[in-house]
Amino acid sequence: MTDRLSGVLVFVQAAEAGGFALAAQRLGLTRSAVGKSIARLEQRLGTRLFQRTTRQQRLTEDGQVFYERCVRALSELEAAEAALDSGRSEPTGRLRVTASVLFGRHLVAPLLWELAREHPGLELELSFSDRVVDLIEDGYDLAIRVAPLADQSGLAARKLGAQMMVVCASPDYVARQGRPRTLEDLTRHEAITYGRQGQSKPWLFPDGKGGDTSVRVRGRLRLDDLEAIADAATQGLGIAWLPCWLIAERLHRGELVDVLEGVGRHGNEIFAVWPQNKHLPSKVRRAIDLLAARLPERLATAMRKPPRSGRKR
């Protein structure tokens, strides 16, 4: 019975992935193991479930009928597990979480380590990547996103807070080039920008009416890593627009200064995003609740103005 259920799970993953290779990646198996599992299932059922070509595998007519029945059966199993899980105080099983590299490493991971220490039955798998992954296709339970949510079809979300941005530069740069006083002044300074594939996004500032004012800055340095931008700004190579949490220590040590203290700070909203389900597993719910309770405090600490360094010029 265990082998039969395992074969069904592999079959459903292969059908939804559109190929054995992607199904193998999601399941943590080899492509050969997926192919053999499907072959055993087809032999037991006495019919072909996939029409195989050199490029892809498509469901046959029998395969489509079997897939629809399997999905319904697995849905019932998931509902039964969820009913048991809802009464369980101890989250268990594997929890797969994805987040952007720096935000995940500095702010998300330390909180989830606490969750893992508190619950020995929880298996935690974290993936840090700056690309926006497809939660359903890539098999993640939870994503932490620092950006406006675009397509939310099939997804649920909960706001966790906002990261405030600050325009900063080194004291040496300010001494050489002066301090910008207005948003218009920013366009006359050498900026270090974040960009990918030759594109840089504008810097955003609250307009006082509930919207944003965008400023297109210029500069010779375009990097795709925020920490590298902070390093370049610290070396006096220009002004930068960076999250408070990332540069809080540099501000405290006087390596960087806030050059637009009188201008409002733009906040990027942070969301927990997960595949929409009738029943939210306790392991996912516990992780979301922890992040919602603790993340705003960490972000607020980073936003507090550090004491003056007393640096002599």
Q: Which helix (H) or strand (E) holds 111?
A: helix 109-118
Look up residue 185 and give its amino acid: D
Same domain flag for 186 and 295: yes
- Confirm if 154 and 273 have CB atoms less than 8 A apart: no
Same domain flag for 79 and 142: no
Three-state secondary structure call for residue 306:
coil
For the domain that residue 272 is a member of, what is the CATH number? 3.40.190.290
Query: Pick from 10, 19, 15, 59: which is nearest to 38 by CA?
Result: 10
Domain that holds residue 289: 92-313
Q: How far is CA 236 from CA 10, 111, 169, 257, in A?
A: 55, 33, 7, 11
Look up residue 200 and give its amino acid: S
Number of domains making up the chain: 2
Spans of the chain, pLDDT less than 50: 309-313
Same domain flag for 196 and 285: yes
Same domain flag for 52 and 27: yes
Same domain flag for 193 and 273: yes
> Which residues, in sequence order, are CB contacts of 273 under 8 Å at separation 6+?
135, 142, 143, 144, 145, 149, 152, 155, 156, 157
Q: Of 31, 62, 86, which residue sits at a domain end?
A: 86
Q: Of 86, 114, 135, which residue sits at a domain end?
A: 86
Residue 108: Cβ-neighbour burial (10 angstroms; 0-12, 13-18, 19+): buried
- Confirm if 191 and 217 have CB atoms less than 8 A apart: yes
Q: Of 86, 103, 136, which residue sits at a domain end?
A: 86
For the domain that residue 66 is a member of, what is the CATH number? 1.10.10.10
Query: Residue 196: what pLDDT?
Result: 75
Residue 308 is classified by DSSP as P
Same domain flag for 125 and 65: no
Three-state secondary structure call for residue 271:
strand
Same domain flag for 65 and 115: no
Q: Which helix (H) or strand (E) holds 239?
A: strand 239-243
Give the pLDDT confidence of 37-52 residue by residue, as tens digits: 999 999 999 999 998 7
> 């195989």: which residue's tokens?
52
Query: Residue 51: what pLDDT?
Result: 86
Query: Residue 311: what pLDDT?
Result: 45
Query: Residue 310: what pLDDT?
Result: 43
- Confirm if 77 and 253 have CB atoms less than 8 A apart: no
Same domain flag for 126 and 269: yes
Indicate if the alpha-carbon torsion angle 190, 196, 197, 200 is positive or negative.
Answer: negative
Whole-prediction pTM value?
0.68
Give the pLDDT confidence of 60-107 residue by residue, as tens digits: 999 999 988 888 888 777 767 666 655 556 788 899 999 999 999 999
Three-state secondary structure call for residue 19:
coil
> Which residues, in sequence order, are CB contacts of 98 under 8 Å at separation 6+?
104, 126, 127, 128, 129, 133, 135, 138, 140, 142, 143, 144
Same domain flag for 33 and 64: yes
